[in-house]
Amino acid sequence: MKIVNENVKLDGIDKTILNYLMEDAKKPILEIAKNIGITGAAVHQRLRKLEKSGLIEGSRMMLDARLLGYKTMAFVGVYLDKAVSNPQAVNKLREIPEVIECHYTTGNWSIFIKILCRDNEHLMNVLNKNIQAIEGVSRTETFISLNQQINRQIKI
């Protein structure tokens, strides 16, 4: 049995269940149970244990943003005029629907965000009218993603 931390203990069966569900969260529990050779109730019990430990944070449906017209993904390094501006800036970034991730980082930027926009013009408007207008933001540095080549969960 591999101990991840004091609250989470994973064995091979737990890992197999998690791998099935990370690949397809809608995979039927009874199908997983049959493939592993245990009962559906045992799978449910293990999942409840892993949820209670905090390892499983939930499940969500992922949409293909391109089919909704969002074709430009960008990463933006945000420079703040002072570190104390961080909480206020993050609160303002939360209000911008195109900001889909926000990270407090080391290095050149105070904040590193991921933005999803319809096109480059939309991105320019979000940068100029929303992000750079936030009090405390001194400047930004933008990187447009040409293609997401890896998209995966951490291996267990």
DSSP string for residues in 114-133: EEEESSHHHHHHIIIIIITT
Round to whole Å and give the CA distance between 151 and 141.
23
Evaluate whether the domain defined by 65-145 bears CATH number 3.30.70.920.
Answer: yes
pTM of this structure: 0.83
Boundaries of every domain in the chain? 12-53, 65-145
Single-letter code of the amino acid located at 85: S
The two beta strands, 8-10 and 2-5, are antiparallel
Class of domain 12-53: mainly alpha
**Would you give per-residue pLDDT tens digits along the chain (156 residues)?**
555 567 788 999 999 999 999 999 999 999 999 999 999 999 999 999 999 999 999 888 889 999 999 999 999 999 999 888 899 999 999 999 999 999 999 999 999 999 999 999 999 999 999 999 999 999 999 999 999 999 888 888
